[in-house]
């Protein structure tokens, strides 16, 4: 919340508890089991980074390559999981499925109950629901709710509504948007679990997925009405999965999809491109250079496309839609300069002034709340660099909403932080060796499928303790962050009143049903989302054309934003004295006015 001092004592206690849990897990005696089986080194299995090694960690030294026709390469650090289909493996997968299902139910249910209890707002669920409805009716991107424009493209470039329009045509209800958003946020954990399961094993994969699903930033994003930028979380999670798997084409598809959400996603795509270019430059051996050609091509294309997309929209497309007026959100950075070149000059020539702005307590609190569910582990993971563009424009903004954890602006950071934690754990556990990768013996030579390769290695004891300690540290950090700072069930920030239906809410619904579907309406912010399926809908007092308004609905007990109490009472008096409306219904503090014939 704005103006609330950061609870640093809670942050420190949370980390202390997580460290204590990690210490206990590390010193517990290792369960006794069958004797470790002998290892044989994988022959003829080189580790070219271009084939499948992790781009999240430094490249290991390459062993001698195999001759043509040998076994297919197995990259170093590519964890060989236990044999699929075992009872233990299915148990961990079932545990993830259960955690995913519970999280999905919470995300969707709380968002829907909050809307049905009239806690959703005109900005942004009401305006974006009207955009979706108008687009489905052929009036692309139109909205009468947005106070500064009638076209969403004058505020944000979001072609994704063209894809949502067919769905909205079938089910024209704001709850469809809330369902899609909650489902997408939950699905963001799946690529994380799949990559972590392959690289770290199922237990740590489950821990990472649970931390993702319990993350307070994820829950706050879900409860901040609907924002198209929230769909970046699952798409970027998919892009990071394919980046970690070195599958460039599907990664490019995921990043291309994020460009349809908002203009700033071009900077994130460019960050991926720079990452790939740096990954290609690190390759030194001739074989690695050939293998790095494709990452270099993809990286160059992403940098050019991402920057061209973002800058072209900010500097050309949106000003053109606005009739020559500059991109509206540049005002949040006006202290850096009057235009984009001036802002860049300030960043380069006055870095200490910029650092002083970024390092203010309220901004550091925002960063801490992003990282604490992961026990600060993402700071050790190199994928965190992919979030620098988003962190930069978020922390440099003068608008407090941008660095408020309860808003939507941090959506692209959620998967980036999660995959940075994965990379940090991979590095700490030490799964990436510099020698040939140990592989289990075949069946009949003592292979035990339920023992993973690193558990059969000479350093098994230390690695098992490290993995066990990190799993405990991660789960305690995520659990305490959820309980202390989250808004979900059983958390300290859970407010059941937001989700409890009341008799008064039922009376409001009865009045809403009495308003004709084709009628123009002006009303208050918490009522706008429930009337979004109409062409003429206005948030009081921002009414462009009173002649298009047939009904005015007032709720004296409801949210009066942006009016003060005095302005609200004056407006209600003017409805009958100046604007030509008469009261046709009054129930408690609810009043419905209709234009006089």
| pLDDT single digits (tens) 384-399 | 999 999 999 999 999 9
Task: Please write the tens of the pLDDT for every residue from 331-365.
Answer: 999 999 988 889 999 999 999 999 999 999 999 99
Indicate whether 589 belongs to any domain.
yes
pLDDT of residue 86: 62
Which tokens is 254 given?
């995921």
- 231-258: average pLDDT: 96
Kindly indicate the confidence band of residue 292, based on its pLDDT and cuts at 50, 70 and 90. Answer: low
Indicate whether 495 belongs to any domain. no
Q: Which pLDDT value is given to residue 464?
A: 73
Pick the more confident residue, 454 or 376. Answer: 376
**How many other β-carbons are positioned within 10 Å of the β-carbon of residue 190?**
17
Residue 515 within a domain: yes
Instruction: Give the structural domain span for 510.
Output: 503-595
Flag whether 38 is in a domain: no
Residue 257 lies in a domain: no
Average pLDDT, the chain: 84
Q: What percent of the chain has pLDDT over 70?
A: 78
Q: Which of 3-17, 169-183, 195-209 has the lowest mean pLDDT?
A: 3-17
- Tell whether 190 is covered by a domain: no
pLDDT at 282: 76
Strands (E), 288-446: 438-439
Dist. CA 340–CA 344, nearest whole Å: 6
Q: Is 85 left (phi over 0), alpha (psi -120 to 50) or beta?
A: left
pLDDT at position 77, please?
Answer: 37
Q: pLDDT band at 367, cuts 50/70/90?
A: very high
**Assigned domain for 66 exists:** no
Residue 381 confidence (pLDDT): 93
Q: What was the pLDDT predicted at 54?
A: 58
pLDDT band at 467 (very low <50, low <70, confident <90, very high): confident
Question: C-alpha angle with apex 52: 49 to 55, nearest 5 degrees?
Answer: 65
State yes or no: pLDDT of 81 exceeds 90.
no
Q: What is the DSSP letter of 254?
A: H
Between 14 and 476, the higher pLDDT residue? 476
Q: What is the dihedral angle through the alpha carbons of 149, 154, 159, 163, rounded to the nearest 10 degrees?
A: 0
Encode burial over 515-537: b for 16+ CB neighbours within 10 A, e otherwise. beeebbbbbbbbbbbbbbbbebb
Q: Buried b vs exposed e over 131-169: b needs ≥16 C-beta within 10 Å?
A: bbbbbbeeebbbbbbbeebebbbbbbbbebbeebbeebe
The total number of structural domains in the chain stands at: 1
Mean pLDDT of 186-213: 94
- Residue 591 parent element (H or E): strand 590-595
The answer to whether residues 234 and 104 touch, using CB atoms and an 8 Å cutoff, is no
Backbone angles phi, psi at 32, to 5 degrees: -75, 140
Question: Which pLDDT does position 154 carry in this prediction?
Answer: 96
The larger pLDDT score, comparing residue 488 to residue 36, is at 488
- Residue 239: both structure tokens together: 């892009």
Spell out the alpha helix ranges (H) of 215-285. Answer: 216-222, 232-244, 248-258, 265-281
In a domain, 576, yes or no: yes
Residue 63 has pLDDT above 50, yes or no: no
Average pLDDT over residues 68-79: 35
């Amino acid at each position: 919340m704005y103006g609330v001092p950061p609870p640093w004592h809670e942050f420190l206690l949370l980390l202390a508890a997580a460290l204590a849990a990690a210490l206990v897990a590390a010193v517990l005696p290792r369960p006794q089991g069958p004797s470790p089986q002998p290892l044989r080194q994988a022959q003829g299995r080189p580790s070219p980074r271009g084939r499948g090694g992790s781009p999240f960690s430094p490249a290991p030294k390459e062993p001698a390559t195999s001759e043509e026709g040998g076994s297919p390469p197995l990259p170093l650090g590519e964890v060989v999981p236990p044999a699929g289909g075992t009872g233990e493996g299915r148990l961990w997968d079932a545990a993830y499925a259960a955690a995913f299902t519970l999280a999905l139910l919470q995300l969707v249910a709380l968002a829907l109950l909050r809307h049905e209890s009239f806690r959703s707002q005109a900005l942004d669920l009401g305006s974006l629901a009207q955009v979706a409805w108008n687009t489905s009716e052929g009036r692309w991107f139109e909205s009468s709710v947005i106070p500064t424009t009638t076209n969403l493209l004058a505020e944000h470039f979001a072609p994704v509504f063209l894809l949502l329009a067919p769905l909205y045509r079938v089910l024209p209800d704001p709850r469809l948007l809330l369902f899609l958003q909650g489902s997408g946020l939950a699905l963001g954990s799946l690529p994380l679990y799949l990559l972590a399961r392959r690289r770290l094993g199922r237990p740590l994969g489950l821990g990472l997925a649970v931390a993702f699903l319990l993350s307070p930033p994820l829950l706050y994003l879900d409860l901040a009405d609907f924002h198209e930028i929230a769909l970046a979380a699952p798409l970027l999670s998919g892009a990071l999965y394919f980046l970690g798997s070195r599958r460039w084409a599907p990664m490019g598809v995921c990043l291309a999809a994020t460009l349809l959400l908002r203009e700033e996603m071009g900077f994130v795509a460019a960050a991926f491109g720079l990452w790939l270019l740096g990954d290609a430059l690190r390759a030194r051996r001739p074989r690695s250079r050939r293998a790095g050609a494709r990452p270099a091509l993809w990286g160059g294309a992403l940098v050019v496309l991402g920057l061209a997309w973002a800058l072209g929209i900010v500097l050309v497309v949106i000003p053109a839609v606005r009739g020559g007026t500059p991109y509206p959100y540049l005002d949040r950075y006006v202290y850096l300069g009057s235009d984009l070149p001036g802002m860049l000059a300030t960043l380069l020539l006055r870095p200490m002034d910029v650092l002083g702005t970024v390092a203010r307590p309220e901004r550091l609190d925002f960063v801490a709340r992003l990282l604490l569910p992961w026990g600060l582990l993402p700071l050790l993971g190199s994928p965190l660099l992919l979030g620098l563009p988003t962190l930069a424009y978020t922390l440099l903004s003068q608008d407090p909403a941008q660095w408020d954890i309860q808003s939507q602006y941090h959506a692209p950071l959620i998967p980036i932080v999660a995959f940075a934690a994965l990379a940090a754990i991979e590095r700490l556990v030490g799964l990436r060796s510099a020698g040939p990768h140990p592989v289990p013996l075949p069946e009949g030579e003592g292979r035990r499928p339920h023992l993973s390769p690193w558990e059969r290695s000479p350093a098994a004891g230390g690695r098992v303790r490290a993995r066990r300690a990190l799993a405990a540290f991660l789960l305690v950090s995520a659990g305490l962050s959820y309980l202390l700072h989250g808004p979900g069930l059983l958390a300290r920030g859970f407010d059941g009143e937001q989700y409890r239906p009341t008799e008064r809410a039922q009376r409001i619904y009865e009045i809403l049903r009495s308003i004709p579907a084709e009628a123009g309406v002006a009303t208050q912010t918490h009522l706008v989302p429930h009337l979004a399926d109409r062409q003429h809908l206005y948030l009081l007092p921002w009414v462009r054309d009173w002649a298009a308004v047939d009904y005015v609905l007032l709720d004296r007990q409801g949210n009066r934003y942006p009016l003060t109490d005095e302005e609200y009472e004056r407006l209600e008096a003017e409805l009958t004295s100046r604007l030509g409306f008469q009261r046709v219904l009054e129930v408690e503090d609810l009043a419905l006015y209709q234009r006089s014939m």
